[in-house]
Structure 1
């Protein structure tokens, strides 16, 4: 059934199973001990007293099990729901999102890992924005140069000579180098280019 796939019902079911197994085990053990150590004329009275005690213990254990299960489930689900909400916000572009770190060791490890992931994504996004700004700045210089040459040719300020076109060609080459560098960077980030790191003396 669908509700048995939910964590809260699984934990409550486990607690109730423990209670049932405990009561049945105690009942069987008590009956064996009663038959072996109690006089026959007292078996019925002792068995009635034991059953009453087991009933009270079973009710108390059931209440305690349900209470602790519900409290524990609430703690776990609160943390999981917080992580789920933060995940949706990060997916929407809010990379500064963080979750509260709970006291439980296991949940704290999950929350800290989530926060580390969110921080890494935020840093990547900041680097991406910075890189886009730097690329736009670097591309603007050769484009402005080419535009200046073209305007000069149109207005007749610059001579229509081979030297003018060679200067324009230098700006085009500069633009192409920038584009090639961006393509190489993209391939490196995609893992298409293997990097081999070495140490060297920077003074040399």
Structure 2
């Protein structure tokens, strides 16, 4: 049995097994796929758990492999499920998924779990995270893909206060693309389809 089948089998079990967290897992797994698709995260395996974690955290990401040999385990703190608004739990899920994204494609910090790369990625989606991992949210929907996706799928969010966290300096939604020449350009769209007039090659995203 290959690893991809293991992850699919685990998710099928979590969604179909008759138990107290069945409906919870259905929702979380559905939203994990929504984020993966809407934000183009391309996380190949999603290992999700709901567990009693420390009261100081809403969720946790386990780098590498967990005790079952599964990669990138994301845990949502069970003790807060009834007390928190649904949209904030979805915010925690996205936060932890971004750790999985960084482990797959980026450079996770060793001394700083929420390093600059992570904070910039989160900020680009509307999550304003400080170096300790405390998460606040961009209140302007036009600047928050997170809020836009919640609205798209019918999740209500109250009026948010201004974030007290400092935003990352130099943050930009501009992405670098290059052709075979290579000519380098930056554009503020996630899907860019253009051909270089010199070499005739399609521009490819490099960051």
TM-score class, shorter-chain normalisation, is: under 0.3
Q: Which has the higher contact order (CA 8 A, sep 6+)?
A: 1
Please give the TM-score of this superposition, normalised by the length of structure 2. Answer: 0.20
More helix per residue: 1 or 2?
1
More strand per residue: 1 or 2?
2
Query: Greater CA radius of gyration, 1 or 2?
Result: 1
Please give the TM-score of this superposition, normalised by the length of structure 1. Answer: 0.21
